[in-house]
Amino acid sequence: MTHAPDGQLRIGHAERDAAVAQLRDAAAEGRLTLEELDVRIGVALAARTRDEVRALLADLLPQQQLEAAINPAALLVSASEPGWSWQDPLVLTARWDDVFRGGPWPVPPFLELNPVAGNVKLDFVDARTSTPIIDVNIIGGAGDAILVVPGGWGADVSRMDKGLGSVKSTVDARPTGTLPLLVVRGRTTLGSIRVRHPNWWDTKQRERRLGRGGGIVSKN
């Protein structure tokens, strides 16, 4: 038996309930009329595949949040991994070699970056995230931390202590609509903290990555 494409996988009650909850939230925020809500709830309760749910929510959720709504069970699996509680963040440490994350990498809500002597660069442009706020705690050394975010995201760096280093963000402190917000806090000793949108080099690297299939890029 051949496996069905991801979008044609059958869904169950959990996925339907999650879709209905998203629709009700959208109506409460004024993004759907009551008439639209009734119609879409009926479609959600009758949905059989992930693609049917995706079509219902595509104009209500950012791309990064769709997967969580379509496949809420994925969050239950992720919740047992580092990064899903503030007591157990996903820790990325660059002692001598640089650390990099890019492509459609899964972003948990709690990150801890330790650029000791190397640099930590996180590219969120194609990242998959399902939470509206991402807490980034930086325990800096002599290395740099570079956070690259797509348009519409927000980044609040007001909680950063720059020490003898520097902190600079060219990203708005408030996100657009329901797009994610990075809350960057902590302290750097000698290094620099940079939060920005993609530059020419980032865009070129992304084009090359997509040309090779666009998978997750992880270096540590």
CB atoms under 10 Å from CB of 219, counted, come to 11
Burial of 23: CB neighbours in 10 Å, binned 0-12, 13-18, 19+: buried
- Single-letter amino acid code for the residue at 83: G
DSSP-assigned beta bridge partners for residue 135? 110, 183
Q: How far apart are CA 91 and CA 137, in angstroms?
A: 9
Q: Do the Cβ atoms of 188 and 159 come closer than 8 Å?
A: no
Q: What angle do CA 216, 141, 161 make, to 5 degrees?
A: 100
Report which secondary-structure segment, H or E, holds 40.
helix 34-46
Of 93, 146, 151, nearest to 123 by C-alpha is 146
pLDDT of the residue at 68: 65
Written as tens digits, the pLDDT of the chain (220 aa) is 455 566 788 888 778 877 887 888 788 778 888 889 889 999 999 999 988 988 999 888 776 567 666 765 555 445 567 888 788 899 999 999 999 999 889 899 899 999 999 999 999 999 988 788 899 999 988 999 999 999 999 999 998 998 889 999 999 999 988 788 999 999 998 999 999 999 999 999 888 887 877 677 887 7
pLDDT of the residue at 1: 47
